[in-house]
Chains A and B, each alone.
Chain A
């Protein structure tokens, strides 16, 4: 019997998010799990804190912090996501089929966040190692202080992209409204093309997208080292 046929369903119109998450936090580690969640209706913290070999499919729009702190699990949102989807994700996959609100993938350490629509402001803020692929556009102040990981955007980026960025890699196919402090355009070399191709492949769109259309942005590394000439300013 296939895993999907064996899916467990959970209706949030009948039971609470707290009850759902309590069950998801105590899944049998010996087997795989497939859950379908109904009536999310924008509720917060759905499927947050998972650490299991599980796939959780959510039928509709979710509220804040969906799949936050995710580890290993695959969370599929068949709708839009509110603030902070997959924030502080450690591993696994979070896939939003609609749009995502602010701070998508904030501080995420690992794993992959795929957003089929657009993400609003502060996407990938303080990114710490996860990979984010946005098929639409992203809002202002995205990748602010991003330390590690990648952000791939097929559409446009808003104001102040990559402000105060450390070592995260940014790839944008469309127009960048403006770059933030210490963020510059960099050469897209072969090694970056390979990285980008691998990311697009993981997001399942490597064949649909021409890598040559992307531009790469990253840190000029002028901001995060103390510069002795500025000593008098302190």
Chain B
């Protein structure tokens, strides 16, 4: 099972409503994934600044952590908290220093995503509850992807929830199950790509990171995934400027896309798209198997 959604707004006027749309889409797919939910939202970028999305328990004093990072770096650091997550904004040139500093100050804090525009949130629970905890409906931006999980390959934990970060401003959500993730995980570890969990999607994310590190474009990395990943999958990859879609050649896992004047939307089922504005006039189609699709702001 599992449900995936993606929304890319062509009309800038709709940007304040991005989170509201995505929240409805995620909630609709609750019965495909009631275990946990997560999403990545691409909001405004600030010049020379990068965002680190941090995760730890609800009792975390993120303000104190941010203040300590700011003191160590000698830089202006801002923090914005949402429930168990917080977004730390630091100077882009000091991103590595900020991560090192976080490792010293709060070693049990996870950095779940990093990027100029991407913020990434995920938790265990019904999608509607997760969306509410993070106030997804109040978020704005150009595009977002989300996932509702019905666990099959590993435990129901926040670490097992999607999206998984694959690089700066890039993350992956997955519907399906990979059958060669154990052997692939060993290969990735040998090449220095660590996996924190036994989850199959984390391996797919690690695989893309590995290919990108070798200098491949995301398009080429997704095409090589067709040869190297065994199993069933529909992937949606969020990037700084849009998102990409790939289905395995057998295409067991459903996928529907809609292109309207104001947006491009992806859903595991059409139901997830049914409440979008003017959906009745959109071009609704199924992405073809083994074909990489991209929707991009730059196009």
Chain A positions within 8 Å of B, measured between CB atoms, are 41-44, 60-61, 63-64, 80, 82-83, 98-99, 101-102, 120-121, 139-140
Q: Is the CB of A61 within 8 A of B289?
A: no
Could you say which of B270, B272, B288 contacts A80, with CB atoms under 8 Å apart?
B270
B269 at interface, CB cutoff 8 A: yes
Contact between B286 and A41, CB atoms less than 8 A apart: no
Report, nearest first, the 5 A-B pairs whose CB atoms are least far apart: A42-B270, A41-B274, A42-B271, A42-B274, A120-B286
Q: Is the CB of A140 within 8 A of B271?
A: no
- Supplied contacts A44-B271, A83-B254, 13 more A-B pairs, CB within 8 Å: A42-B271, A42-B272, A42-B273, A42-B274, A61-B270, A61-B274, A61-B284, A82-B254, A99-B284, A101-B286, A121-B289, A139-B251, A140-B289
Which B residues are CB-close (under 8 A) to A64? 269
Asked if A101 and B254 sit within 8 Å, CB to CB, the answer is yes
Report the count of interface residues on B (CB-CB < 8 A).
16
Give per-residue flags for B12-56: 1 if the beta carbon is below 8 A from chain A beta carbons, else 0. Answer: 000000000000000000000000000000000000000000000
Assess the A121–B271 pair: CB atoms within 8 A: no
Bound complex: CA of A80 vs CA of B286, how far in Å? 11
Cα-based distance from A177 to B68 in the complex (angstroms) = 62
B174 vs chain A, min Cβ distance (A): 19
- 25 pairs from A and B in contact (CB 8 Å cutoff): A41-B271, A41-B274, A41-B275, A42-B269, A42-B270, A42-B271, A42-B274, A43-B271, A61-B284, A63-B271, A64-B269, A80-B270, A82-B254, A82-B270, A98-B284, A99-B284, A99-B285, A99-B286, A102-B251, A120-B251, A120-B286, A121-B289, A139-B251, A139-B288, A140-B289
When chains A and B are docked, how far (Å) is the Cα of A99 from the Cα of B288?
A: 14
**B residues whose Cβ falls under 8 Å from a Cβ of A:** 251, 254, 256, 269-275, 280, 284-286, 288-289
Q: How far apart are the CA atoms of A98 and B282 in the complex, in Å?
A: 13
CA distance A44 to B270 in the complex (A): 10
Contacts of A83 in B (CB 8 A): 254
> Which B residues touch A82, using CB under 8 A?
254, 269-270
Is the Cβ of A60 less than 8 Å from the Cβ of B280?
yes
